[in-house]
Amino acid sequence: MRIGLYLALVQLLFTATWTIYVAFLPQLAAAAGIAKQWVIWILMLDQAIFIVMDLALGISADRVATAMRRVSTPMIIVTAVSALAFVLLPHAGASAGVLITLTVIWALTSSALRAPPMSMFSRYASAAAAPRFVFLSLLGIGIAGAIAPWLTARLRGVSPTLPFVLAAAGLIAAVLAMGWCERRLASASASSPAPANGHTTPVPRAHGAATGALFIAVLLLALGFQAHAFINSAPAYLRFAKAPDLEWLMGLFWVGFSVFIMVPGIGALKRASPAMMLIIGAAVGAMALAAMPVTPNLALLICAQVGAGAAWGIIIGYAFTAAIDAGRTGREGRFTGLVFALLAAAALTRFLIVVSGGSASPVIGPLLAWLPAIAWAGALLLLVIAAQGRAFSR
CA 208 to chain centre: 25
Bond before 329 cis per omega within 30 degrees:
yes
Q: What is the pLDDT of residue 324?
A: 82
* Position 89 pLDDT exceeds 60: yes
Residue 383's Cβ-count burial label (10 Å; 0-12, 13-18, 19+) is: buried
Judge if pTM exceeds 0.85. Answer: yes
Q: Taking residues 281-297, what's their average pLDDT?
A: 95
**Is the four-CA dihedral 81, 57, 189, 198 of positive or negative sign?**
negative
Which overall architecture, per CATH, does domain 1-128+156-189 show?
Up-down Bundle (1.20)
* Position 306 pLDDT exceeds 90: yes
Locate the domains of the chain by residue range. Answer: 1-128+156-189, 201-394
**Is the four-CA dihedral 23, 255, 243, 230 of positive or negative sign?**
positive
Question: Helices 115-122 and 2-31 meet at what angle, rounded to 10?
Answer: 170
Interacting residues of 187 by C-beta distance below 8 A, sequence separation 6+: none
Q: What is the pLDDT of residue 72?
A: 67
Q: Taking residues 164-168, what's their average pLDDT?
A: 90
Same fold, 1-128+156-189 and 201-394: yes
* Position 33 pLDDT exceeds 70: yes
pLDDT single digits (tens) 108-147 = 988 888 877 777 766 666 666 667 777 877 888 888 888 8
| Helix/strand/coil percent split, the chain, to 5 | 80, 0, 20
Which overall architecture, per CATH, does domain 201-394 show?
Up-down Bundle (1.20)
* Position 223 pLDDT exceeds 90: yes
CB 27 within 8 A of CB 88: no
Above pLDDT 90, what percent of the chain?
A: 42
CB 342 within 8 A of CB 187: no
